[in-house]
Amino acid sequence: MTISMPASPFADPAPAQRLERAAAALTEHGFTVEILDDAAAARARVKALIPEGASVFTGASETLRLSGIEEDINTSGRYDAVKPRGLAMDRATQLRDIWRLMSAPDVIVGSVAAVTETGSLVVASASGSQLPGYAGAAAHAIWIVGAQKVVSDLPTALRRVEDHCLPLENDRAMKVYGKPSALNRLLILNAEPHPGRGTVLLLRETIGF
């Protein structure tokens, strides 16, 4: 007998009105926000936003992988890609140098676990490698966010992280690394105190977790 599991309430795209409310609240909180149709539009926009030769770190993100943005940044030769440089370094003897490299690039690009209609971004991480750059160490930050990640408020965002994102990330980590993920670090960005530093590209389609 096959038992059908109920679909996650956090997998459906938010309607246009919710995207617009989130965009307005984020803008009021100092973020630059654009609502785009799909991942292809975001891919083109990211290329336009990042100057050639900039040092760029890509945070771990299914959104970046599925959209092709991760490949564009790390393999095109257009940028000083931080992730490949870090992976080539010895973690046993150069860990502090790797963290310095990842923490303060010219641009950090990634996604978030949730965006609230009240104007907050919620990021969950096992290692924390992307959090310094997101929080303010990177000169510029760009987040690409699928429509299913927009929720009403912060308590709902935290439920989305634990009930929806973590199980999916656990499955991914088991396949890729052979071990589960963990909700070790959580970052909540309620505002961007330096207008122009943080850009949120909200998509009308779903992508990523």
Contacts 24+ apart (CB under 8 A), 127-132: 127/184, 127/185, 128/184, 128/185, 129/59, 129/60, 129/99, 129/102, 130/57, 130/59, 130/60, 130/102, 131/185, 131/187, 132/99, 132/102, 132/103, 132/104
Q: Residue 131: how many CB atoms within 10 A of its CB?
A: 19
Pairing of strands 198-203, 150-151: unpaired
One pLDDT digit (tens) per residue for the chain, 209 residues: 333 344 678 999 999 999 999 999 999 999 999 999 999 999 999 999 999 999 999 999 999 999 999 999 999 999 999 999 999 999 899 999 999 999 999 999 999 999 999 999 999 999 999 999 999 999 999 999 999 999 999 999 999 999 999 999 999 999 988 888 999 999 999 999 999 999 999 999 999 99
Q: Delineate the domains of the chain, giving CATH numbers in brackets.
A: 16-203 (3.40.50.10420)
Provide the 3-class DSSP secondary structure of residue 63.
helix
Asked if 31 contacts 199 with a C-beta cutoff of 8 angstroms, the reply is yes
pTM of this prediction? Answer: 0.94
Encode burial over 56-88: b for 16+ CB neighbours within 10 A, e otherwise: bbbbbbbbbeebebbebbbeeeebbbbbebbee
CB-based contacts of 53, cutoff 8 Å, min separation 6: 78, 79, 80
Structure tokens that stand for 91 in this block: 């973690």
